[in-house]
Amino acid sequence: MQQQKYDEVMIQEPQALYVVAPAMKVLKSGKQKIHSEETYRQLLQQLELDDFNLEAFMDLLGIDRYIMAESLGITDTTMWRIIKGKAKLDKNAFYRLQQLLDLVYFGIETFDHITGDFIQWMHTRQNSFKDRTPLEVFINEALGHQIIKDQLLRIEHGVFA
């Protein structure tokens, strides 16, 4: 099994996909490999246990706290309090974070486990999104998560219409 390094994320192909946990230290508890949907769901459950490092996740996505706050539908002040551990995500923000984590997982799989390519794609304007970035679509559209996931499915299957 060959290991390759992409943007400081070690990927052991083809079985293991390190989505956000290892090199980025998104989980305070240490490394987490995502082998399957079940392991991915366990990662989401760790969000509830406050083992999720939101700052590292923002670094991975290349966004600041203002954009993350907008993505989660909360104010910048609330976002700052959450980062500092003085507040917790409400239900809606937690759901949005789950959706964003789902997109990262699905997107990295779609881009053949190359994290940097997916993150670059998330920040690149797309004709299919009316000259907006996928991140802007996620923030501004009610069904942004599904719209982006549909586009990722098209990419995965080679349909670029």
C-alpha span between 111 and 155 (Å, rounded): 9
Delimit the domains of the chain by residue range.
3-157
pTM of the model: 0.71
- pLDDT tens-place values along the chain, 161 residues long: 344 443 333 333 332 233 343 333 333 333 444 445 555 566 666 665 556 778 888 988 899 999 999 999 999 999 999 988 899 889 999 899 989 988 988 998 898 877 889 999 999 999 999 999 999 999 999 999 999 999 999 999 988 65
Non-local (6+) Cβ contacts of 29 within 8 A are: 46, 51
Which residue is it, tokens 């990722």?
A: 152
**Which backbone phi and psi does 44 adopt, to 5 degrees?**
-65, -40
